[in-house]
Amino acid sequence: MTSHSPDIAAPPAAGLLARLASGKLAVLLVLALLVAVPPLFFPSGFYYRVGAIVWILAIATIGLNLLMGFAGQVSLGHAGFLGIGAYAVALLPSRYGIHGIAAMVIGAALSAFIAWVAGRPILRLRGHYLAVATLGFGILIAMVLTNEQWLTGGPDGMRVPRLVLFDWPVRGSDTWYWIGGGAMLIAAWLALNLVDSPTGRALRAIHDSEVAARVIGVDVARYKLAAFVISAVYASVAGSLLAFFDGHITPDAAGFLRSVELVTMVVIGGMGSVVGSVIGTLVIVVLPQTLTFLSDYKHIMVGAFIMLFMIFLRAGIVPSLAALVRRRG
Amino acid sequence: MAGWTRRVFAGAAAAALMAFGASAAQAQIKIGAVLSVTGPASFLGDPSKKTLEIYVEQINAAGGINGQRLQLIIYDDGGDANQARTFATRLIEDDKIVAMVGGSTTGTTMAMIPLFEEARIPFISLGGAIQIIDPVRAYTFKTPHTDRMACEKIFQDLQRRRLTNIAMISGTDGFGASMHDQCVAVAPRYGVTIAHTERYGPRDSDMTPQLTNIRNRQGVQAVVNAGFGQGPAIVTRNYAQLQVPHPLYQSHGVASKQFIDLAGDAANGVRLPASALLVASMLPDSDPQKSVVVNYARTFEQKTGQPVSTFGGHAYDGLMILVEAIKKAGADPRKIRDAIEATRGFMGTAGVVNMSATDHMGLDLTAFRMLEIRNRDWTIVPEGGS
């Protein structure tokens, strides 16, 4: 099996130091530092907001990476699950008085169920069928959210009631920065554990060769389905958090462009790398903010940067740089 | 000066800066705009951006406001509510603006409102729907007419023509859906009965089935089409092909030359409510709005080489209301808010604006003109007769 995930699967012979540096704990430590250190340099609340968005979207990216980087399947409709999570916390508390956290859990369960039902027939197919089917699924969710105006407020969106934890209304970009960061760390920890488990090994086997995996007795369809369901739950939770944070949600959250953005984050950061997912999200969210001074040329430059990343860091930012360091060292 | 006094002094100065917005000390007044310059709503955001840039430059060339230059910071949200909220945070927290014009769509506006209300910074939205200003929020204003007013203007015209039974055909996009609901809400007040309802998707290319239903429906006397984009043009063409005998009304959403080009001769006889901007040169000289709309249209067309649109006009109104307020109140956001709310008799491209504590838009029905398309051009329907 090739090691396409340097931050989690280093060969045992690489020495204690290398193992430490690539162990689960080290990855979590790197991510924790990434969350904890930047606020020391934040000049205003705006930076907390951008940071919070990065951590929240990174949860969805980590989930999608489990599907893309490990199970080797592309989902072009993942924002659909983001939308389900978001509208769950917008609708359930305001219409049925369900607590925000419970609404988030219900949204995640609904996403898991939909992924399971939709994934069962689709994931028996190989190649691009899943990509096409998920593409249709994502557009379907966005259409429902746009057209069912009596329920969702239509294209103008709807208000999301503020999350209240133990009588304490959660507000402010800085608070959400730490909540998002914490949730992202938990998500990363769960993903790392999953990757290290027999399920993770089976998924990687499928990624490398479906035929070989089947020959050694891996139930390919079942594991692909598991990865799809898990990634849907990740996206749903991210959608819920994003909706709580924004306080207002529109069907754009479930749109096709958002799905493509998530795939871009995974690919830019590095397939099969948890840290890569976070870095990919960071780049895609922060890049447009830093390039605003270019005004009309911003979009061209964002595109150019993404192309440069793909040309020079082909395996994604984190795996490519890790390989570079290993070769030099 | 002793170290600690200097520090206290510096601290006080910094606090004062925060209070008045960092601009005061640099003799600059920072205002912001979050617009949908790209993406699906770019037809709203793009003319707004150009308008703001042209007029801020003009104001600065003429010496600014009260001797202070205006600094305009524009961000493009691409029509995405989440991005809009991020940029709004940036304007408030990082750029420290004193007021904001913009928010091109209702969706982006609604996402940004809580931030401005919390930061107590005046926010003049360019979004259409009535929910922006109803209920009234302390710091949120808007300049475009609401879709409810378009419905009322159409129903007034129906009353003049003594037509009471109508059919509606509406797009399922944000504009069409919102206007449809508002028309249903105000119809009883004008004694209008909506006898039949049809819908179409924003990308549909044939509305013959829906219009056939309407034609076959007994008792329908007129048809109202709520929608924008190319949908209404297709409705108009199909309507003529089917030779539906009733008068057809379009909304202010299609009030552009492009609509006439798309619909062709089928558009003859179609009526629609629109802002005076479209018929600037046709207004009688006695019309108090004439000079404002003629000047704006000329400036915009000269500087950009593009035909003027009502959406740019909304940005003009927003900027000018804000400029008037800053002239009176200085650069303190709270005082600017009070001054905006006190706007009376302001003549904008959308009509006369009279704001109050209970009305943060300030337009009435006279802001709309009822137009009829004849020979591929606009004509003004006299308000007296029909």
| Contact residues, A window 51-90, toward B, CB-based 8 Å cutoff | 53
Domain count, chain B: 2
Q: Is A147 on the interface with B (CB under 8 A)?
A: yes
Q: Cβ contacts of residue A160 below 8 Å, gap of 6+?
A: A86, A89, A90, A94, A243, A244, A246, A247, A248, A249
Which amino acid is residue B104, in one-letter code?
S
The domain locations on chain A are 12-328
CA A316 to chain B, closest CA, distance in angstroms equals 25
Measured between CB atoms, which of B80, B94, B181 is closest to A46? B94
∠ CA B26-B32-B34, nearest 5°, is: 160
pLDDT at A16: 54
Query: What token pair was written down for B46?
Result: 């793009």
Domain membership of residue B288 (yes or no) is no
At B281, give phi and psi (nearest 5°). Answer: -75, -20
Strand B193-200 relative to strand B165-171: parallel, antiparallel, unpaired? Answer: parallel
Q: Is pLDDT at B2 greater than 80 in this prediction?
A: no
A-chain residue closest to B202, CA distance: A147
User: Which alpha helices (DSSP H) does chain A contain, by range?
Assistant: 15-22, 24-36, 45-65, 78-96, 100-122, 129-147, 149-152, 173-196, 198-208, 210-215, 220-246, 256-269, 274-290, 298-312, 317-328
d(CA B140, CA B132): 8
- Cα separations (Å) of B178 from A147, B145, B146, B155? 12, 13, 10, 17
Residues B135 and B159 in one domain: no
Confidence label for B272 from pLDDT (cuts 50, 70 and 90): very high
* CATH number of the domain within which B207 lies: 3.40.50.2300
Per-residue confidence (pLDDT) for residue A171, from 0 to 100: 77
CA distance B71 to B82: 25
Are B163 and B132 in a shared domain? no
* CB-based contact, B170 to chain A, within 8 Å: no
What is the model's pLDDT at position B319? Answer: 95
CB B122 within 8 A of CB B340: yes
Q: What pLDDT digit, counting tens, does each position of B339-362 carry?
A: 999 999 999 998 899 999 999 999
Q: pLDDT for B170-205, tens place per residue?
A: 988 778 888 898 999 999 999 999 999 999 987 788
User: For chain B, what percent of residues have pLDDT higher than 90?
Assistant: 55
> Does one domain contain both B133 and B162?
no
**Whether residue B20 sits in one domain with residue B119:** yes
pLDDT tens over chain A, length 329 residues: 444 444 444 444 445 555 555 578 888 998 999 999 888 888 888 899 999 999 999 999 999 999 988 888 888 989 999 999 999 999 999 888 888 899 999 999 999 999 999 888 877 776 677 788 888 889 999 989 888 878 888 778 888 888 888 777 777 888 899 999 999 999 999 999 998 888 888 888 888 888 888 888 888 888 888 999 999 999 999 999 999 998 889 888 888 889 999 999 999 998 888 999 999 999 999 988 888 777 778 788 888 888 888 888 888 888 888 888 888 76
Same domain, B51 and B133: yes
Contacts 24+ apart (CB under 8 A), B295-300: B296/B349, B299/B54, B299/B55, B299/B58, B300/B47, B300/B50, B300/B51, B300/B54
In a domain, B385, yes or no: no
- Asked if A242 reaches chain B (Cβ–Cβ under 8 Å), the answer is yes
Domain shared by B129 and B154, yes or no: no
- Regarding whether B151 and B214 lie in a shared domain, the answer is yes
On the question of pLDDT at B116 being above 80, the answer is yes
pLDDT over threshold 60, residue B9: no
Distance from CA of A42 to the nearest CA of B (A): 10
Q: Is A272 left (phi over 0), alpha (psi -120 to 50) or beta?
A: left
Residues B108, B188 share a domain? no
Q: Are B61 and B54 in contact (CB under 8 A)?
A: no
The pLDDT-based confidence of B19 (bands split at 50, 70, 90) is: very low
**How does residue B21 score in pLDDT terms, banded at 50, 70 and 90?**
very low
pLDDT band at B120, cuts 50/70/90? very high
Q: Is B159 in the same domain as B21?
A: no
Q: Test B173 with A155 for CB contact under 8 angstroms.
A: yes
CATH 3.40.190 fits A12-328, yes or no: no
Of A43, A248, A298, the CB nearest to B81: A248
Mean pLDDT for chain B overall: 87
B167 shares its domain with B123: no
Contact B79 A252 (CB under 8 A): yes
In terms of residue numbers, what domain contains B170? 147-280+368-380
Q: Find residues 12-51 of chain B whose CB sits inside 8 Å of chain A.
A: 38
Q: Are A140 and A76 in contact (CB under 8 A)?
A: no
Distance of CA A73 to the CA centre of its chain: 14
Closest residue in A to B91 (Cα) is A46
Tokens 């709203």 identify what position? B44
C-alpha B254/C-alpha B273 separation (Å) is 10
Asked if A196 has any chain B CB less than 8 Å from its own CB, the reply is no
d(CA A285, CA A53): 8
Residues B270 and B298 in one domain: no
Per-residue pLDDT, B242: 92
Q: What is the mean pLDDT of residues B360-376?
A: 89
Same domain, B270 and B158: yes
